[in-house]
Amino acid sequence: MTYYSLTVSLLLLSLKLSFFIIYLQIQTSDASNFITLPLKIQTLSQNSLSPNKLTFQHNVTLTVSLTVGTPPQKVTMVLDTGSELSWLHCKKLPNLNFIFNPHRSSSYTPTPCTSPICTTQTRDLTNPPSCDGNKLCHVIVSYADSSSMEGNLAIETFSIGGSVQSKLVFGCMDTDTSSGDEDSKTTGLMGMDLGTLSFPNQLKLPKFAYCISGQDSTGVLVLGDGPGLGTSLHYTPLIKKTTRLPYYNRVAYTVQLEGIKVGEKLLPLPKSVFLPDHTGAGQTMIDSGTQFTFLLGSVYTALKNEFALQTKNMLKPLGDPKFVFQGTMDLCFRVPVGSRLPALPAVTLVFAGAEIKVAGETLLYKVSDVAKGNDWVYCFTFGNSDLLGIEAFLIGHHHQQNLWMEYDLVNSRIGFADTNCHLVSQRLGLVS
């Protein structure tokens, strides 16, 4: 969970003037092979932050509520498809309101250094474990801002949906050097990537899926082989590499981006710019924890220039070269207060076998409620990953709205389908 896990370390991408927090309340489905979880979307205000200069923070985007321990303690965990190890805060810290207390649980079992869990099952973790003074398996989770979480690996009972109970390995973290206070709003993190100790791997899930609505504050998460959509999905294969490379995350959900279109125009870029190089830099990852989408510098510049060209008669440039939203988004516009956005050319991300079309209001993000004169400030929702010091393409959850996102682990692929996530939730009986 350093550079390689990306999601939590890049959740600065969600810490902004306002961002989505999706709360998941567990509900057991009538079917026995999957669990359906309703989503709620909440907007938080960050008025104290400058819109054009934000520091790295790991933060909350998607959270799931469940119970852990015996007797059960309620926890909230960040649902993170870009991280492996699930962890909980296990020590009361200043400004931290949500913790798991292992001393109150009869089922809590710390992991010795000599356990195979510590010696072999941690092979996919970025930071190798060590042995502490009590001969327990000690782990460190690092972030891009040089902050970290430290604690011990342990086994505990996780109750999902009130009836599904599993003994899972997790990190019981008692040291936190993070610089922000957003950790106080969640008990921990649920790692959902392809690593050995990830939540899906430990539960042996054949697949999971989610659907994030855009405007109506609803959505759904399905763990397991859930119900069909009634429409066909377009799949793109997951790319797996067995060789260790310095800048390649082998347990991420990696797909192959092949091109980008603005309107009907395909950007004139060679396919080689989308391929990882010999160091592994340049992989494309689907990430539910990152908010926006980030492209390598040359690709971002080509997209930015083409979008600006096609919208020059529709949108008024901000005209402030020093304004860079979140330090990565420098294509911003003025939109008169009270007016609606014009019809904009869609941006289509072309993958092997599938596409994601970003259209309408999803293309631009309103930067807080601070107006420039009589105009609101809107910024293009694609950023430059070079400015983050990250050599990768990241597809964030803002561009996954009203898409059924299926992670098919058995067949090693990800499926996309355009849909109305609110209607999906209604059909599954999660909202009225």
Beta strands in 344-411 (DSSP E): 347-351, 354-358, 364-366, 375-380, 382-384, 392-395, 403-408
Q: Are 269 and 356 in contact (CB under 8 A)?
A: no
Catalytic residue check, 287? yes
* Count of residues in the chain: 432
DSSP letters along 286-308, please? E-SS--SEEE-HHHHHHHHHHHH
The active-site residue, picked from 80, 124, 183, 330, is 80
CB 49 within 8 A of CB 241: no
Of 89, 252, 77, 104, the residue nearest 171 (C-alpha): 89
Annotated active-site residue in 124, 193, 287, 408: 287
Q: Is 330 a catalytic residue?
A: no
Residue where the block lists tokens 């059909």? 427
d(CA 144, CA 201): 25
What is the C-alpha separation between 154 and 250, in angstroms, rounded?
24
Maximum Cα–Cα distance across the chain: 67
Calpha distance 304→309 (Å, rounded)? 9
Task: For residue 188, give the nearest of 64, 55, 52 by alpha carbon.
Answer: 64
3-class secondary structure, 25: strand
CB contact set of 400 (below 8 Å; sequence gap of 6+): 212, 286, 288, 356
CB atoms within 10 A of CB 48: 6
Task: Give the integer Cα–Cα distance in Å for 288 and 261.
Answer: 23
Catalytic residue numbers, as ranges: 80, 287
